Chains A and B, each alone.
Chain A
């Protein structure tokens, strides 16, 4: 049986990936430079070169790491379909190559092309190399979102049937309830959000986790969007609010739009690119929703650590990070934080 412990063994992983690649690309190719990248919220990311002749091709294996019955994330077959659809529509994403099969002995997942560049949010916001690019990142984010939101979500079967699509607040309450951990500040936010919930209008195709940290950039701008495991359908204000949530400013709380710029500049860029007005009030409601959601995701990661499903110092830190996010949440509701 394949276990997560097997996957942590780099030699076992290398050999299994070697067999997986040779099955598809032939015996004359080799695997080199294998590296485990960030263990993200739902997927393990493994980078490797496929070498045939003198032309190495850098690829990325994305492996599902959260047992699906407890996961709020899309199963990897749906993630792959999302990637195929958005790639076909010209959204900048790593090119999807193939899905894993049972014979690969690598569990659930898929392989895409690797894209070089920077992902660290603090570096995007603070480093001298990117400081003049912030306005460009902001503009591009608005344009990419406007394009994404026009894609017909029916192309990904099951996307609109997710609870995150039909009942976003209920989906978060259900996720929180799974962990049985009492957080009165989060309960307060549930109550507040239910009381002031706006009309959500039409349901569009959403990335679901579009923010600083989930993109690869270069000095010319955004190269690709990553981490599509939260895709669902919903109000575009949800996506705009999530992008502006306080949690994604990484120390630059004055730059509300993802740490890249101010809200109005972002709203106007989105309005120009999409031809649709941004509902400011609704977007701010979704910012509060987003901070609440981020607090629950930190509880989830801490539980993953404590249950030994996915053990790491970062996931342990998530448990203690929850209170800091709750603090943001309450101060925003009190209008003491913007």
Chain B
């Protein structure tokens, strides 16, 4: 199921289009010189990232995000970026110094959410689930 793609377009859908481009680049790779091959491999990696991002349910990781928001004790509605900036400022000021063990667990969960998209194979099993 693709969560963020609009569903009224004709097939192929977004993931299938990306896969098509990826397959074509893969075919080219054996004939490319070292530098172009490296950038070609980077392109296949980037396409994999986009495909995973399209397929990632948007509510993954909400639990840790909500727990992080609770740390700030901020009732205001903040955008994701505003919230992250507030959290960074709070850590920088030392407001979370009494809470570092809990913060480490929550941040690992927050970062794992990003790694699920960028390189899920890299995650420890307990951070993947």
- Residue positions of A touching B, CB distance < 8 A: 36-38, 182-185, 187-188, 190-192, 312-314, 316-317, 320-321, 323-324, 326-327, 330-331, 333-334, 336
Contact = CB atoms under 8 A, between A and B. Distances in A.
Given A191-B97, A312-B39, A330-B107, 18 more contacts: A183-B84, A184-B84, A184-B87, A185-B110, A187-B87, A187-B91, A188-B107, A190-B91, A192-B100, A317-B42, A320-B118, A321-B118, A323-B114, A324-B122, A326-B111, A327-B114, A327-B123, A334-B108
A188 B117 CA distance: 22
Interface of B: 35, 38-40, 42-43, 45-46, 49, 68, 81, 84-85, 87-88, 91-92, 94, 96-97, 100, 103-104, 107-108, 110-112, 114-115, 117-119, 122-124, 127
B46 A330 contact: no
Contacts of A312: 39, 42
Contact of A314 (B39, B94, B110, B117): B39
Contact of B111 (A37, A38, A314, A327): A327
A187 B103 CA distance: 11
- Residue among B49, B88, B103, B111 with the highest chain A CB neighbour number at 10 A: B111
Given A183-B88, A323-B111, A316 B46 contact: yes
Contacts of A313: 39-40, 42-43, 46
Given A324-B119, A327-B112, A182 B87 contact: yes
Contacts of A183: 84, 88
Given A182-B85, A187-B91, A317-B42, A334 B104 contact: yes
A18 to B, nearest CB: 22
A185 B104 CA distance: 8
Going nearest first, the 5 A-B pairs with the smallest beta carbon separation are A323-B114, A182-B84, A313-B42, A187-B91, A320-B118
Contacts of B110: 184-185
A192 B87 CA distance: 16
B107 A185 contact: yes
B122 A320 contact: no
B72 to A, nearest CB: 11
B108 A191 contact: no
A58 to B, nearest CB: 16
A317 B114 CA distance: 13
Contacts of A188: 91, 100, 103-104, 107
B88 A184 contact: yes
9 contacts: A182-B88, A184-B87, A187-B92, A190-B91, A314-B42, A317-B46, A323-B114, A323-B115, A327-B127
Contacts of A334: 104, 108
Contact of A184 (B43, B91, B117): B91
Contact of A320 (B49, B108, B112): B49
Contacts of B39: 312-314
A190 B97 CA distance: 12
Contacts of B94: 191
Nearest to B82: A182
A314 B108 contact: no
A37 B33 CA distance: 11
Contacts of B42: 312-314, 316-317
A191 B51 CA distance: 35
A37 B46 contact: no
